[in-house]
């Protein structure tokens, strides 16, 4: 193996290790409190929703002192941990993501049904992680699943941020925006959250089924108009119906619910930063709330990386998190936020020596494909040219997945059973050097 190949292997291994530590730092095993809250006087129901729901329920079952605890897990198809998940008194439903399906509707109604059985003295513990907006889909009166699917698809392809998307979703739902907590009546409600939204506002994670909402129908309509979305007639009518305003915290008692964010993107970056320092990198942390068009952020980070590489100095690890957006122009394209970011980065770097990068979704699935993300190296464009791949056309056609798949540079982890959104790491060796 040549020295260049050995260097490339080392850099890829460092990137993979940083991603692994980021994910571990926000796992249910690490993030979940050591004790579950006890029911004041009666029953405890645990409802876990999201891509990390199954692992959160597993930890809850290990740490509970209530052998009669009843549970519901709602997670994405394929996001169950390996082994036996036939837990006593726990129902498991796998549902659609990023677009809701029939199981999403069934899961939402089952969660509402369980909440409705609670009385004063009982407790509902809700374990939320990213993805719950699609996994729990209870259409508002007058809407059906097809309406929900259509507006979800339009929003996800529009370039809207996750906060904007969830503001609309809350006003088209019978469970989001605090309505699940309302269904629990006088029971105590505790919510623990692994946050996948920039800023970690708990009302936006899984569209806040147990958290009071501060948005309005007027805001939802404005978002639809801003992105030029033509919703189905039934959706447009629902957004005009005052009955679809989200519940008031004061009038319905939601203000008394206990909510705790137990893991966030900041924790993932902190874990990766610690490891990067241990293996000899000077860390530059760009923050955990970056939101921009993916390809544009990639080009911006390429410019920064080139300046750092040419300035000399120590080896650097540039870390960032958040959730980029993608404006889809080719609806048949195959890509994802992180893959599009990386392709924008690679094009802007133009083969700059001494720079390697990884961008992955911490849930292990970037967009709708099976990869978590990919890796960019100084030879990415050279290898692409030899393979007859045009990076600019792949970027223009939202086909970043096909580009990195052809190069063999995808990062495939499978579901990680947690989710704090995008993780990006750029490793810089000034002047192209690899010595520590």
Q: What was the pLDDT predicted at 253?
A: 65
What the block records as the tokens of 262 is 């137990």
Cβ density class 267-297: b for 16+ within 10 Å, e for less: bbbbbbbebbeeeebebbbbebbbbbbbbeb
Residue 191 CB coordination number (10 Å): 25
CB neighbour list of residue 351: distance below 8 Å, 6 or more residues apart: 378, 379, 380, 381, 382
| DSSP string across 162-222 | HHHHHHHHHTTBSSTTTHHHHHTTTSEEEEEEE--STT--TTTGGG-TTS-----HHHHHH
Question: What pTM, to 2 d.p., does this model score?
Answer: 0.90
Residue 38 CB coordination number (10 Å): 12
The whole-angstrom separation of Cα 159 and Cα 296 is 13
CB neighbour list of residue 433: distance below 8 Å, 6 or more residues apart: 354
What the block records as the tokens of 122 is 């009982």
Distance of CA 154 to the CA centre of its chain: 18
What is the strand order of the sheet 90-95 is part of?
Answer: 90-95, 70-76, 44-49, 123-128, 188-194, 258-263
From 118, 117, 223, 119, select the one nearest 170 (Cα to Cα).
223
The whole-angstrom separation of Cα 71 and Cα 126 is 10
What the block records as the tokens of 116 is 């409705």
**Tokens 């730092």 appear where?**
25
The whole-angstrom separation of Cα 337 and Cα 344 is 11
Give phi and psi for 389, each to the nearest 5.
Answer: -100, 130
**Residues of the chain below pLDDT 70:** 40, 251-256, 431-436
* DSSP three-state, residue 392: helix
The whole-angstrom separation of Cα 416 and Cα 52 is 8
Q: Beta strands 90-95 and 70-76: pairing type? A: parallel
**Tokens 């709708």 appear where?**
368
Q: What was the pLDDT predicted at 436?
A: 38
What the block records as the tokens of 166 is 């969830």
**Degrees, nearest 5: CA angle 309-313-318:** 55
Contact between residue 223 and residue 168 where contact means Cβ atoms under 8 Å apart: yes
The whole-angstrom separation of Cα 430 and Cα 432 is 5
CB neighbour list of residue 2: distance below 8 Å, 6 or more residues apart: none
**Tokens 């494909």 appear where?**
369
Contact between residue 384 and residue 407 where contact means Cβ atoms under 8 Å apart: yes
For the chain, give percent helix, strand, coil, nearest 5: 40, 15, 40
Domains annotated for the chain, with CATH where assigned, are 3-25+266-432 (3.40.1480.10), 29-138+173-212+247-263 (3.40.50.10180)
The whole-angstrom separation of Cα 362 and Cα 22 is 8
What the block records as the tokens of 263 is 């893991």
The whole-angstrom separation of Cα 202 and Cα 27 is 18
The whole-angstrom separation of Cα 432 and Cα 339 is 24
The whole-angstrom separation of Cα 358 and Cα 413 is 13
Per the rule left: phi > 0, alpha: psi between -120 and 50, beta: everything else, 130 is beta
Q: What was the pLDDT predicted at 40?
A: 65
Contact between residue 217 and residue 211 where contact means Cβ atoms under 8 Å apart: no
pLDDT in tens, 207-263: 999 999 999 999 999 999 999 999 999 999 999 999 999 998 775 666 668 999 999
What the block records as the tokens of 140 is 């508002």
């Amino acid at each position: 193996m040549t020295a260049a190949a050995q260097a490339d292997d080392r850099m890829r291994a460092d990137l993979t290790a940083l991603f692994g530590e980021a994910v571990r730092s926000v796992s249910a095993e690490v993030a979940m409190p050591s004790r579950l809250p006890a029911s004041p006087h009666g029953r405890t129901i645990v409802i876990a929703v999201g891509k990390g729901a199954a692992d959160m329920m597993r930890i809850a079952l290990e740490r509970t002192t209530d052998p009669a605890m009843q549970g519901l897990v709602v997670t994405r198809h394929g996001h169950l941990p390996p082994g036996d998940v036939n837990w006593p008194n726990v129902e498991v439903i796998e549902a659609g993501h990023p677009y809701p399906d029939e199981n999403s509707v069934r899961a939402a109604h089952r969660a509402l049904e369980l909440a409705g059985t609670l009385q004063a003295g009982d407790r509902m513990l809700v374990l939320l992680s990213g993805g719950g907006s699609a996994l729990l889909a209870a259409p508002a009166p007058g809407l059906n699943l097809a309406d929900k699917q259509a507006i979800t698809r339009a929003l996800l392809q529009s370039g809207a941020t996750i906060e904007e998307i969830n503001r609309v979703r809350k006003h088209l739902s019978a469970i989001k925006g605090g309505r699940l907590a309302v269904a629990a009546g006088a029971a105590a409600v505790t919510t623990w959250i692994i946050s996948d939204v920039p800023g970690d506002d708990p009302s936006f994670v899984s569209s806040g089924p147990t958290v009071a909402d501060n948005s309005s129908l007027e805001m939802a309509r404005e978002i639809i108009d801003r992105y030029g979305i033509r919703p189905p007639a039934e959706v447009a009518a629902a957004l005009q119906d005052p009955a679809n305003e989200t519940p008031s915290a004061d009038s319905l008692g939601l203000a008394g619910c206990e909510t705790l964010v137990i893991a966030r993107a900041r924790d993932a970056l902190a874990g990766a930063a610690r490891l990067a320092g241990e293996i000899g990198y000077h860390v530059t942390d760009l923050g955990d709330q970056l939101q921009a068009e993916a390809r544009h952020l990639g080009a911006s980070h390429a410019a920064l990386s080139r300046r750092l590489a040419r300035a000399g100095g120590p080896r650097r690890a540039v870390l960032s998190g958040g959730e980029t957006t993608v404006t889809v122009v080719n609806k048949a394209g195959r890509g994802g936020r992180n893959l599009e970011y990386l392709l924008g980065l690679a094009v802007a770097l133009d083969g700059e020596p001494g720079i390697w990068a990884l961008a992955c979704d911490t849930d292990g699935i970037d967009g709708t494909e099976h990869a978590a993300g990919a890796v960019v190296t100084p030879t990415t464009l050279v290898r692409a040219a030899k393979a007859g791949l045009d990076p600019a056309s792949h970027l223009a056609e939202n086909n970043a997945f096909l580009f990195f798949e052809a190069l063999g540079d995808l990062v495939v982890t499978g579901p990680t059973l947690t989710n704090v959104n995008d993780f990006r790491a750029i490793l810089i060796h000034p002047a192209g050097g690899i010595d520590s």
